[in-house]
Chains A and B, each alone.
Chain A
Amino acid sequence: MLKSSKELLVTSLKFPGDVLLGEMLLSFSGRGSLLVENYRTIVLYSDTLIKLQGKNYCLLIHGTRLSIEYYNQEEMKIAGQIQSVEFK
């Protein structure tokens, strides 16, 4: 109830969800590059799957020849052939 009311407040006041709700921001450049912001930790890393933990859910990036160009506490840039993105 509390969460939904917070979401409602953010939506109605048009506040940015990534700041107040800690949502992940994903920026694609075609299928070869993805910038992920607001992630917490790396759960799993291989050349076909990268699993990242967000505040409320996990992000799974499936693909081939996946590599991490750089990462820090705030953002991560992923390169390779991205096939799908899944939230769990």
Chain B
Amino acid sequence: MILKLIHWLQGIVQLEIKGFSPERFFNLCSLNGIEIWDLIYENGRCRLSMILPDFWKIRAFARKSGVRVKVAGRQGLPFFVQRNRKRKLYFLGTASFFALLYGLSLFIWDISFSGNYRYTEDTLGAFLEERGIACGVKKNQVDCEELEAALRSGFPEITWVSARVSGTRLYIQIKENEVLSKIEEQARQPCNIVADFSGTITEMIVRSGVPMVSVGDTVEEGQLLVSGFVPVTNDADEVVKTNLVQADADITARSSGSYCQSFPLLHSVTVDTGNERAGFFIRIGPFLARFLLPSREGCTWRTSFQEHQLSLFGDFCLPVWWGRIRSSQCISYERSYTERELEEKAQAIHQTYLKNLSEKGVHIIENNVKILKDASLCHVEGNFVGEGPVGRAEAIAGE
């Protein structure tokens, strides 16, 4: 393919040869490095092809071998230019096209991110835009090393960045830290542990501090569970000194709770009517042209775009985007939930509540949900019995 293109650029001449010794002519051409292809024998004549620069060299060989050479066909750029030499605007247009391509190749027209999981492309794109790097920026204004350093310092979870420009595309490859970059240090100041909800203690392991309650006790919210004051006594059981420690314990309590959540019986529903409109759009730089059939006033349409960027030779992206538009008509109206929908929605609310409790480490032992309706609202009342960790650290006053 490339060889054919080179031949076309140099100009191809098709010749007909007839005479005393065409074989000698072929051998002379071969010895002098003249390339010949598509050699066909037809009715006592040989047809062959060669490039235009070689054609000027064969006169002596034709004379030596006693053959007559006739030009049967001409193809390629030199002949094309010769034929169209008077069409100045044609050449001007072609030259302008290549000048425009060259001009566009001096800018960045696409930024491609890879390897990012925690940071979205929008976040990274906004960060680059703050530093003046976006689609349309000049390639020589992009300092890849500086950009890599900025990304590393701007996003501490990014451990490795590679930025490179290929064609008109800026590639940014990222590796993020897969483990936590820092472990939060716990405060080592003296504190008590107090109950953060009411319940009955079912399990208690105290590592540091003095337990103030025991298993089976019922505690109220805010009640002291483990004290950070550790008394030091002498042989007569007299307190001689009080040490302040950071109370530390694993305490589990059984508790019951309830919640109530309401939502309106009427809700908005959007459905497609089945009417669709299709069109396409083209965007050149900031200019957008949409080709879509007009719609009647008062209709609501849900529109989606499928965007593609025009690119030549892989990484040679151009500031031209095009794509299809699909628009479907939809109508919205309000209706009340059916009994089944109400039950499903209520169960979903209840399950979400229980899931949140489970995420906090609460083991659900028993749960119930009730659905109550009034004129306009539906009330979901749920209650549960569960076991979970109890206690929060409370700094000792005065410390």
Chain A residues near B (Cβ < 8 Å): 41-47, 66-73
Complex CA gap A66/B39 in Å reads 9
Contacts beyond the supplied A45-B41, A47-B41: 7 A-B pairs with Cβ under 8 Å: A66-B41, A67-B41, A69-B39, A71-B36, A71-B37, A72-B33, A73-B33
Q: Is the CB of A72 within 8 A of B35?
A: yes
Instruction: Give the chain A neighbours of B26 by CB distance below 8 A.
Output: 42, 45, 71
**B interface, size bucket:** 10 to 19
Q: Is the CB of B35 within 8 A of A44?
A: no
A-B contact pairs, 20 of them (CB 8 A): A41-B27, A42-B26, A42-B27, A43-B23, A44-B23, A45-B22, A45-B26, A45-B41, A45-B46, A46-B41, A47-B41, A67-B39, A68-B37, A70-B35, A70-B38, A71-B30, A71-B39, A72-B30, A72-B33, A73-B33
B334 within 8 A of A: no
* For the complex of A and B, 10 pairs with smallest distance between CB atoms: A68-B39, A47-B41, A70-B37, A67-B40, A41-B27, A42-B23, A42-B26, A46-B41, A73-B30, A45-B23
Instruction: Give the chain B neighbours of A70 by CB distance below 8 A.
Output: 35-38
Complex CA gap A66/B26 in Å reads 16
Instruction: Give the chain B neighbours of A47 by CB distance below 8 A.
Output: 40-42
Task: Kindly report which residue of chain A lies nearest to residue B36, judged by CB atoms.
Answer: A71
* Residue among A42, A44, A66 facing the most chain B CB atoms (10 A cut-off): A42
Interface residue SS majority, chain A: strand
Complex CA gap A9/B158 in Å reads 66
Instruction: Give the chain B neighbours of A68 by CB distance below 8 A.
Output: 36-37, 39
Complex CA gap A40/B275 in Å reads 76
Report the minimum CB–CB distance from B331 to chain A (whole Å): 67
Instruction: Give the chain A neighbours of B39 by CB distance below 8 A.
Output: 45, 67-69, 71
B375 within 8 A of A: no
B31 within 8 A of A: yes
Instruction: Give the chain B neighbours of A67 by CB distance below 8 A.
Output: 38-41
Tell me the B78-107 residues at the A interface (CB within 8 Å). none
Report the minimum CB–CB distance from A69 to chain B (whole Å): 6
Residue of B23, B31, B41, B42 near A73 (CB, 8 A) is B31
Instruction: Give the chain A neighbours of B30 by CB distance below 8 A.
Output: 41-42, 71-73
Complex CA gap A45/B48 in Å reads 13
Report the minimum CB–CB distance from B154 to chain A (whole Å): 59
Instruction: Give the chain B neighbours of A45 by CB distance below 8 A.
Output: 22-23, 26, 39, 41, 46
Report the minimum CB–CB distance from A45 to chain B (whole Å): 6
Complex CA gap A42/B31 in Å reads 11
Task: Kindly report which residue of chain A lies nearest to residue B38, judged by CB atoms.
Answer: A69
Instruction: Give the chain B neighbours of A41 by CB distance below 8 A.
Output: 23, 27, 30
Instruction: Give the chain A neighbours of B22 by CB distance below 8 A.
Output: 45
Interface bits B350-384 vs A (CB < 8 Å: 1, else 0): 00000000000000000000000000000000000
* Residue among B35, B38, B40 facing the most chain A CB atoms (10 A cut-off): B40
